[in-house]
């Protein structure tokens, strides 16, 4: 046992005279040397700590401190070289050295582990024994430490003895047979082998390796105890990091080749956790960030591109809703790159790819030929033709709505990924937004603004029916989300006004409150300028209701007793607010034809009466009647027919028809029974535009359920020579019937209409650009061309993305009109504002 048995009673003050006389240094040293040897040989129980301390005290008082210091160190050096070194070398067998030189030789992994543990245990015991001995010796030589070492700035015996252990044991040759092998090299290699075994799933003695780490952390490269000069850092750690880098490089290559991306991610995350645990339990916690960096470099940073692009990578994970695995990729990429460049790029590419597929599918669906109707006989054949025609007419509208639904589904899909896999990362949100905006505003798909407006239109007319307030809010929010992605918001505004116009005038909107909510949301999102005209349209409708009510009261005050007097309802539209150009039909010279429409006398009378009433209210305003946008309720009486009760019964129906259809039907009041009117005669008497006349005659004479007229010859197409008769035998299932006008075509614009809309929009943009340029120059007075273009782009970014060439043309136009002038003497092309 060690010298806990060494007597440590309280030291009494030296007796008087203890300093007197000379002392024999050699005899005193021999006593101390014998005591030191007994301490090293674990035979210190009989030693007196007080006596040994007094010997040291006397030597120091007689100025022999240097000699004592050197003798102690010399003793320790001899002891290490002769007694300890042999024991350490005896731990090294030929098999152990061979296994390290040729990668294992003929020994098994288990044999290597056992031999390595034997070496580590032996070296640990030698170190712990020596460390304990030196701790006891320090107590004996305490006075020398306090006086001599302090006064002469010498390192303590304990510190110097550890340096001797480093030089005489760890840095000594392993054996005479292996002069090129050092004990410390073997120690490092065995510790690395133990770590390698644990990485491969073997169980090792962690505490044994940890004790050797403590030894290396206690030893330093020099005398000074600089933390960065610990032997653990200078000798072992870098070797550990280098071997780990090689290990993980090979493992990463193998995993990437043999495993799917999800498994790879889980393995990489597990390896990082293992290394963190290993540093806590087996090595040093100071190594944690360094080994993490190695694992991250080899398993993540150097492999992340190939991992993401692999067959089972991000594309596969997105397509198959592998949310957990996407989360692992996100976490791994986040460890090595704050911007997550590779993941962002892959996600953006996949969104654009999927979005482009949606765009292409919408284009293909809108252009695909409609399926032919199944042949049938008689009335069924006609119904089949009508259904086929209706299907063809709505084909593009269905494609448009499907596009919006698929984009929203795509948005929901990636929102879910963003929340669950990407931890609602703001950087990822920005990337998602940019990608959605990219494919929605793709030059190859110019119909986004129209389709989104049409989506809102359909929901306002049908989609919100029967839905709760929360469900309606969800629909409105979806529309706003899509609107955020639109770059050309001015084009969306044009389509939205067009669709809103028809909803308001035809009374198709299910709820004015929801319409107002939508406009309020748009105002918050896009500003007052965007919604000013939309709000004005609602104001016009309110004023129109007041005018209609006022006119009705006005007529009542006149005391007109005519029971057949027509009841008039009007919508007064401000020409600068409403998209009047979109309200006409597509016939040639439609504006002229519309103005000259011939109304029946009864209608003309009430029309002129209202004009007079309106003129008294608002002098100087001119009314233009738009018959193509109106509707009428007509009471139709058909000849008597035999009833079930006997006798004859007169049939009456209330027909809700377009204004044009009302004009056509009233013509037949003056046509004798069994006589007809040709298409040309009807047009001559009504002056209804050709295209609108065809549509209305098809509704009245071709549609199976509303054949108020009979057409000869019977066919879907209407020709100038066709004859029309009043259908005295018409039978309707209900008293009130709605005669819908055969649609003029798809709700989605045709190619020609779209080009016209774009042209009008570009003209409107020209005015916006000019206004922006003038505002900027009025404020800045002088500006270079490049700065002016940049500021104009910035100002108009919330409305649309202007073409630079268009900006240049508008600047030239302003110069010609003397709003601006060029500054000739400027180094760069510049302009000056002219007040």
| CATH number of residue 679's parent domain | 3.30.230.130
Same domain? 680 vs 774: no
| Residues 163 and 219 placed together within one structural domain of the fold | yes
Q: The CATH number of the domain where 781 resides is what?
A: 1.10.10.10
Give the model's pLDDT for residue 708: 81
| Lowest-confidence pick of 117-126, 155-164, 219-228 | 219-228
Q: What is the mean pLDDT of residues 117-139?
A: 93
Both 686 and 809 in one domain: the answer is no
Residue 104: per-residue pLDDT: 54
Taking the C-alpha atoms of residue 233 and residue 239, their distance in angstroms, rounded to an integer, is 9
265 pLDDT higher than 60: yes
What pLDDT, on the 0 to 100 scale, is given for residue 45?
A: 86
- Selection from 167, 248, 257, 232 nearest residue 200 by Cα: 248
- Above 50 in pLDDT, residue 756? yes
In this structure, the strands spanning 736-738 and 648-658 are parallel
Is the pLDDT confidence value at 595 over 60?
A: no
For Cα atoms 681, 686, 688, give the angle at the middle one, nearest 5 degrees.
Answer: 105
Q: How far apart are CA 488 and CA 441, in angstroms?
A: 8
d(Cα 85, Cα 87) in Å, to the nearest integer?
5
Distance, in Å, from the CA atom of 444 to the CA atom of 271, rounded to the nearest integer, reads: 46
Residue 46, CA atoms < 13 Å, CB-side half-sphere: 6
Q: What is the pLDDT of residue 507?
A: 81
State whether 680 and 766 are in the same domain: no
Considering 173, 206, 229, which residue would you say is the last residue of a domain? 229
Same domain? 678 vs 791: no
Number of H helices, E strands in the chain: 34, 9
Cα diameter, the chain: 162
- Segment 148-157 mean pLDDT: 91
Q: What is the CB-side half-sphere exposure of residue 292 using CA atoms within 13 A?
A: 15
Q: Which of 169, 196, 229 is the last residue of a domain?
A: 229
Please, which pLDDT band fits residue 227 given cuts at 50, 70 and 90?
confident
Final residue of a domain: which of 185, 203, 229? 229
**207 near 283, Cβ under 8 Å?**
no
Q: Please list, in sequence order, all residues whose beta carbon lies within 8 angstroms of the beta carbon of residue 536, skipping any fewer than 6 positions away.
A: 574, 577
Residue 635 φ then ψ, to 5° = -90, 120
Domain assignment of residue 133, given as a range: 25-229
Same-domain pairing of 64 and 145: yes
Looking at the chain, the whole-number percentage of residues with pLDDT higher than 70 is 88
User: According to the model, what pLDDT value does residue 378 have?
Assistant: 42
CA distances from 497 to 243, 437, 566, 591, 715 (A): 70, 23, 31, 20, 36
Give residue 673's pLDDT band: very low, low, confident or very high (50, 70, 90): confident
Amino acid 2: pLDDT: 46
Cα separation of 156 and 146, whole Å? 9
**Better-predicted residue by pLDDT, 282 or 597:** 282
User: 27-36, 474-483, 536-545, 550-559: lowest mean pLDDT where?
Assistant: 550-559
Beta-carbon contacts of 569 under 8 Å, excluding residues fewer than 6 positions away, are 548
Please give the Cα distance from 299 to 811 (Å, whole number).
56
Structure confidence at residue 803 (pLDDT):
83
Instruction: Decide if 19 is inside a domain.
Output: no
Flag whether 518 is in a domain: no
pLDDT, one tens digit per residue, over 285-308 is 999 999 999 999 999 999 999 999
Query: pLDDT class for 372, splitting at 50, 70, 90?
Result: very low
Within this chain, do residues 790 and 734 fall inside the same structural domain, yes or no?
A: no
pLDDT at residue 20 in the model: 44
Question: Would you say residue 213 lies in a domain?
Answer: yes
Long-range contacts of 427-435 (CB under 8 A, 24+ apart): 427/339, 427/340, 427/344, 428/330, 428/340, 428/343, 428/344, 428/347, 431/344, 431/347, 431/348, 432/347, 432/348, 432/351, 433/484, 433/485, 434/348, 435/347, 435/348, 435/351, 435/352, 435/355
Res 384 pLDDT > 60: no
Give alpha helix (H) positions in 167-205.
183-199
Mean pLDDT for the stretch of residues 649-655: 78
Selection from 113-127, 561-575, 615-629 with the highest mean pLDDT: 113-127
C-alpha 399/C-alpha 388 separation (Å) is 16
Contact 654, 737 (CB under 8 A): yes
> Distance between CA atoms of 597 and 591, rounded to whole angstroms?
10
Are residues 713 and 813 both part of a single domain?
A: no
CB 764 within 8 A of CB 489: no
The 10 Å Cβ neighbour count of residue 617 is 11
The whole-angstrom separation of Cα 400 and Cα 406 is 10
At 380 the pLDDT is: 45
- The verdict on residue 528 lying in a domain is no
**C-alpha–C-alpha distance, residues 515 and 495, integer Å:** 15
Quote the CA–CA distance of 389 and 742 in Å, as a whole number.
10
Take residue 311 and report the two structure tokens written for it. Answer: 């067959």
Is 774 in the same domain as 687?
no
Residue 436's pLDDT band, with cuts at 50, 70 and 90, is: very high
- The residues, ordered by sequence, that sit 6+ positions from 741 with a Cβ below 8 Å of its Cβ are 658, 660, 661, 695, 696, 699
Residue 256 falls inside a structural domain: no
How far is residue 6 CA from its own chain's centroid?
73
Q: Compute the average pLDDT of residues 45-62.
A: 90
Distance (Å, rounded) from C-alpha 121 to C-alpha 143? Answer: 35
So what's the pLDDT on residue 225?
81
Q: What is the mean pLDDT of residues 508-520?
A: 88
Q: Is 152 exposed, middle or buried (0-12, 13-18, 19+ CB in 10 A)?
A: exposed
Averaged pLDDT of the chain: 84
The CATH number of whichever domain residue 50 belongs to comes to 1.20.1310.10
Q: Are residues 62 and 144 in the same domain?
A: yes
Total domains, the chain: 3
Same domain, 43 and 150: yes
The model's confidence at residue 250, banded by pLDDT at 50, 70 and 90, is: very high
Query: CB of 660 within 8 A of CB of 628?
Result: yes
| Residue 219 is assigned to a structural domain of this protein | yes
Determine the pLDDT at residue 141.
92
How far apart, in Å, are the Cα atoms of 322 and each of 259, 312, 344, 436?
Answer: 16, 10, 17, 21
Q: Who wins on pLDDT, 325 or 390?
A: 325
**Residue 147 falls within a domain, yes or no?**
yes
- Within a domain: 570: no
- Measured CA to CA, the distance from residue 330 to residue 425 in angstroms comes to 10
Residue 16 has pLDDT above 60, yes or no: no
CB 547 within 8 A of CB 572: yes
Q: What is the pLDDT of residue 368?
A: 67
Same domain? 828 vs 707 = no
Does residue 241 register a pLDDT over 90? yes
Average pLDDT (583-594) is 46
What pLDDT sits at residue 294?
96
pLDDT at 144: 92
pLDDT in tens, 778-831: 888 888 888 898 988 888 887 788 888 888 888 888 888 888 888 888 888 888
Say if residue 6's pLDDT is above 80: no
**pLDDT the model gives residue 77:** 93
What is the per-residue DSSP string for 454-523?
Answer: HHHHHIIIIITTT--HHHHHHHHHHHHHHHHH-S-HHHHHHHHHHHHHHHHHTT--S-HHHHHHHHHHHH
Cβ contact 554:612 at 8 Å: no
Mean pLDDT of all residues in 746-773: 78
What mean pLDDT comes out for the span 251-280?
95
pLDDT for 391: 53
């Amino acid at each position: 046992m060690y010298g806990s048995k060494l007597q440590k009673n309280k030291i009494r003050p030296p007796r008087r005279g203890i300093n007197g006389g000379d002392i024999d240094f050699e005899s005193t040293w021999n006593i101390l040397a014998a005591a030191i040897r007994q301490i090293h040989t674990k035979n210190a129980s009989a030693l007196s700590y007080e006596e040994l301390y007094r010997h040291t005290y006397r030597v120091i008082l007689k100025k022999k401190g240097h000699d004592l210091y050197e003798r102690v160190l010399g003793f320790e050096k001899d002891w290490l070289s002769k007694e300890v070194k042999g024991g350490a070398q005896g731990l090294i067998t030929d098999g152990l050295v061979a296994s390290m030189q040729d990668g294992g030789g003929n020994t098994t992994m288990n044999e290597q582990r056992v031999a390595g543990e034997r070496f580590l245990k032996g070296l640990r015991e030698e170190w712990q024994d020596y460390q304990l001995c030196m701790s006891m010796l320090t107590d004996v030589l305490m006075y020398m430490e306090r006086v001599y070492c302090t006064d002469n700035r010498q390192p303590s015996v304990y510190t110097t003895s550890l340096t001797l252990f480093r030089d005489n044991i760890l840095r000594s040759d392993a054996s005479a047979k292996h002069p090129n092998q050092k004990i410390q090299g073997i120690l490092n290699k065995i510790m690395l082998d133990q770590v390698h075994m644990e990485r491969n799933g073997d169980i090792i003695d962690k505490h044994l390796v940890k004790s050797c780490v403590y030894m290396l952390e206690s030893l330093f490269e020099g005398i000074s105890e600089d933390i960065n000069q610990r032997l653990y850092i200078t000798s072992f750690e870098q070797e550990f990091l280098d071997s780990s880098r090689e290990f993980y490089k090979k493992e990463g290559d193998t995993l990437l080749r043999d495993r799917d991306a999800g498994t790879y991610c889980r393995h990489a995350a597990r390896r990082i956790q293992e290394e963190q645990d290993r540093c806590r339990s087996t090595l040093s916690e100071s190594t944690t960030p360094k080994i993490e960096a190695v694992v991250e470099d080899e398993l993540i940073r150097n492999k992340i591109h190939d991992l993401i692009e692999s067959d089972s990578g991000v594309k596969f994970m997105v397509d198959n809703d592998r949310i957990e695995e996407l989360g692992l990729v996100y976490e791994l990429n986040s460890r090595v790159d704050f911007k997550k460049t590779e993941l962002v790029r892959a996600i953006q590419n996949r969104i654009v790819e999927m979005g482009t597929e949606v765009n292409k599918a919408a284009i293909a669906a809108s252009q695909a030929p409609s399926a032919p109707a199944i042949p049938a006989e008689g009335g069924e054949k006609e119904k089949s033709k009508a259904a086929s025609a209706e299907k063809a007419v709505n084909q593009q509208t269905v494609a448009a709505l499907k596009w919006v639904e698929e984009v929203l589904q795509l948005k929901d899909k990636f929102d879910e990924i963003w929340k669950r896999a990407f931890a609602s990362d703001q950087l990822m949100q920005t990337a998602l937004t940019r990608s959605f905006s990219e494919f929605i505003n793709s030059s190859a798909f110019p119909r986004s603004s129209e389709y989104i407006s049409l989506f809102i239109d359909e929901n306002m007319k049908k989609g919100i029916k029967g839905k709760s307030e929360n469900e309606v809010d969800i629909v409105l929010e979806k529309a706003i989300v899509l609107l955020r992605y639109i770059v050309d918001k001015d084009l969306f505004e044009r389509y939205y006004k067009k669709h809103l116009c028809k909803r308001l005038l035809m009374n198709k909107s299910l709820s004015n409150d929801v319409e107002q909510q939508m406009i309020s949301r748009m105002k918050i999102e896009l500003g007052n300028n965007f919604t000013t005209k939309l709000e004005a349209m609602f104001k016009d409708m309110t004023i129109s209701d007041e005018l209609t009510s006022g006119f009705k009261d006005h007529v009542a005050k006149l005391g007109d007793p005519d029971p057949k007097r027509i009841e008039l309802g009007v919508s007064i539209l401000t020409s600068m607010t409403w998209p009047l150009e979109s309200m006409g039909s597509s016939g040639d010279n439609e504006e002229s034809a519309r103005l000259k429409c011939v109304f029946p006398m009864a209608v003309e009378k009430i029309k002129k009466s209202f004009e007079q009433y309106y003129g008294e209210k608002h002098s100087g305003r001119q009314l233009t009647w738009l018959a193509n946008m109106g509707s009428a309720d007509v009471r139709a009486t058909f000849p008597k027919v035999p009833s079930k009760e006997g006798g004859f019964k007169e049939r009456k129906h209330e027909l809700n028809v377009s204004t044009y259809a009302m004009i056509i039907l009233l013509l037949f009041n003056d046509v004798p029974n069994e006589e007809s009117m040709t298409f040309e005669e009807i047009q001559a008497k009504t002056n209804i535009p050709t295209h609108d006349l065809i549509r209305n005659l098809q509704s009245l004479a071709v549609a199976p359920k509303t054949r108020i007229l009979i057409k000869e010859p019977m066919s879907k197409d209407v020709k100038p020579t066709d004859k029309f008769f009043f259908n005295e035998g018409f039978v309707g299932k209900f008293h009130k019937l709605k005669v819908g006008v055969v649609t003029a075509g798809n709700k989605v614009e045709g190619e020609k209409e779209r080009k016209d809309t774009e042209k009008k929009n570009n003209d409107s943009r020209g005015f916006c650009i000019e206004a922006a340029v003038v505002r900027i120059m009025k404020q800045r007075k002088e500006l270079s061309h490049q700065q002016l273009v940049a500021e104009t782009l910035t100002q108009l970014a919330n409305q649309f993305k202007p073409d630079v060439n268009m900006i240049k043309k508008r600047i030239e136009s302003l110069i010609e009109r003397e709003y601006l002038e060029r500054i000739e003497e400027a180094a760069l092309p510049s302009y000056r504002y002219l007040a």
